Copies of this chain bind each other. A is one copy, B any other.
Amino acid sequence: MAAPLRLGIAGLGTVGAGVVRIVRTHAAMLSARTGREITITAVSARNRDKDRGVSLTGYEWEDDPVALARRDDIDVFVELMGGSDGPALAATRAALDTGKDVVTANKAMLAIHGQTLAEEAEAKGRAIRFEAAVAGGIPVIKALTEGLAGNQVTRVMGVMNGTCNYILTRMESAGLGYDTVFQEASDLGYLEADPTLDVGGIDAGHKLALLSSIAFGTQPDFAGIDIEGIERIKIDDIRQAADMGYRIKLLGVARRTGRGLEQRMQPCLVPADSPLGQLEGGTNMVVIEGDAVEQIVLRGPGAGQGPTASAVMGDVCDLARGFRLPTFGQPATTLEQVPPATSGLPAPFYLRMTLVDKPGALARVATLLGNAGVSIDRMRQYGHSEGAAPVLFVTHKTTRAALDEAIEAMRQTDVIVSEPVALRIESV
């Protein structure tokens, strides 16, 4: 049997404790599968005395994750601290610098610094693995970079923030408003310390940037993503969408076109009877379309101790088996820098706004839509309150640009009371 694979784990929150638990309870299984023992040499966390529900006996303790990363008695640095910069980045760099492989769950760090980190790792002949950074326990990074390596990927889509999906499905099932459910989610501890990361689509955007890179052979480009959060979705939107056979999901979509790399993370309408439409609560789903495989749908828990630790351990086992591939599936120096492209693909849109309750208001916005070349498929006015009339349109297929032109023109009038909400109806 080969020498043991020695881990140094930085970050002993939920996921770190889960990794320790798997290494301790499944030692025999792991060595049967990988042909070598997997051991933990040392760990690091902010608080040494916290009870994490797992024994840390036999592991060295390092207060400083950078010192942990530099130890010469570890082979793999497991980074589970989080944060795009700061200690996580410093320790990851230290690990690569001193010839360690890195396994990380840190989507923010890789979405922003992935290109340079990948270049550093490859210059040193080391690997960075990040299955746990995208879609929790679903082995989607592996599916894309390895299982589907024979495909030219044509589209990647996904619901990848469980908190947003929890909020949207809970609003629908309980008939509650956004603010109420947001508070619930906060009380349940589902939200990041900065909730904008979740509900603003940032966290899911980080994941999409990583998926795009491995799907299309491009440099991760988080800044190029068209991001919109779920904060403006009202219970009325959810109900109106349901009436028409749709559900609202915070959906990431990436396509590489002749014009550039299209990356969107936005609330969209999807058919209620599609796999994406049926996704409840914190479950994640990634849909991969390729020229050979047609369409693959992967579904599983997007977060939590077990699922995320499972993903980390998948990466650890790969390294124990000696599987090494470039961070983003092909050498970082060959990843293309592709300009962001807005979607030129026409789609129907859901458009909701509140108009002043005066004669001619509806005709005015309908005219503005027509002027922008946007034709209306359905229109519904659904009740008044205090001089304001909520109205929704479903357009025929149009481009986002045409719709934005119409919305800009509406803003110049005195007939709209609230900023219009436009949601793409995605074909899935």
A353 within 8 A of B: no
Q: In chain B, what residue has the closest Cβ to A334?
A: B32
For the complex, is A150 an interface residue (Cβ under 8 Å from B)?
A: yes
- Chain B residues with CB below 8 A from A5, complex form: none
Q: CB < 8 Å: which of B138, B275, B324 contacts A275? A: B275
Chain B: which residue is nearest A279 at the CB level? B275
A141-165: which have CB < 8 Å to B? 142-143, 145-152
A52 CB-CB contact with B under 8 Å? no
A285 to chain B, nearest CB (A): 9
Q: Contact at B32–A217, with CB atoms within 8 Å?
A: yes
A325 contacts chain B at the CB level, 8 A cutoff: yes
Residues A301 and B307 in contact, CB atoms below 8 Å apart: no
- Flag whether A351 is at the interface (Cβ < 8 A): no
Which partner residue on chain B sits nearest A22 by CB separation? B150
Instruction: Give the number of times this chain occurs in the complex, counting copies.
Output: 2
A291, B137: Cα distance in complex, Å = 12
A139 touches B148 (CB 8 A): yes
Contact with B along A200-244 (1 / 0, CB 8 A): 000000000000000001000000000000000000000000000
User: Residue A295 at the B interface, CB < 8 A?
Assistant: yes
Taking A314-B150, A329-B33 as contacts, is the C-beta distance between A275 and B299 under 8 angstroms?
A: yes
Contacts of A317 in B (CB 8 A): 146, 149-150
Given A32-B330, A33-B330, A299-B299: A148 and B293 interface contact (C-beta under 8 Å): no
Residue of B nearest to A309 (CB): B292
Hey, which chain B residues are within 8 Å of A138, CB to CB?
A: 296
A residues 294-347 touching B (CB-CB < 8 Å): 294-301, 304, 306-307, 309-314, 316-318, 321-325, 329-331, 334
In the complex, what residues of B have CB within 8 A of residue A18's CB?
Answer: 292
Residues of B within 8 A of A323 (CB): 146, 321, 323
**B310 to A321, Cβ gap below 8 A?**
no
Task: Decide if A34 is an interface residue (CB 8 Å cutoff).
Answer: yes
- Tell me, rounded to whole Å, the shortest Cβ–Cβ distance linking A405 to chain B: 38
Output the nearest chain B residue to A142 by Cβ-Cβ distance. B147
Task: Say whether B296 contacts A300, CB under 8 Å.
Answer: yes
In the assembled complex, the Cα of A297 lies from the Cα of B299 at a distance in Å of 5
Q: Is the CB of A29 closer than 8 A to any CB of chain B?
A: yes
Report the Cα distance A149→B273, complex, angstroms.
Answer: 33
How many Å from the CB of A13 to the closest CB on chain B?
16
Asked if A131 CB lies within 8 Å of chain B CBs, one says yes
Q: A325 → chain B, closest Cβ, in Å?
A: 6
Q: How far is the CB of A216 from the nearest CB of chain B, in Å?
A: 11
Sample (9) of A-B pairs whose CB atoms are under 8 Å apart: A18-B292, A22-B292, A32-B331, A139-B147, A149-B318, A290-B310, A293-B300, A299-B299, A322-B324
13 further interface pairs, Cβ-Cβ under 8 Å (given A26-B152, A146-B317, A296-B298):
A32-B217, A139-B143, A142-B146, A147-B314, A148-B310, A150-B309, A292-B309, A292-B310, A293-B310, A293-B311, A294-B306, A297-B298, A298-B299
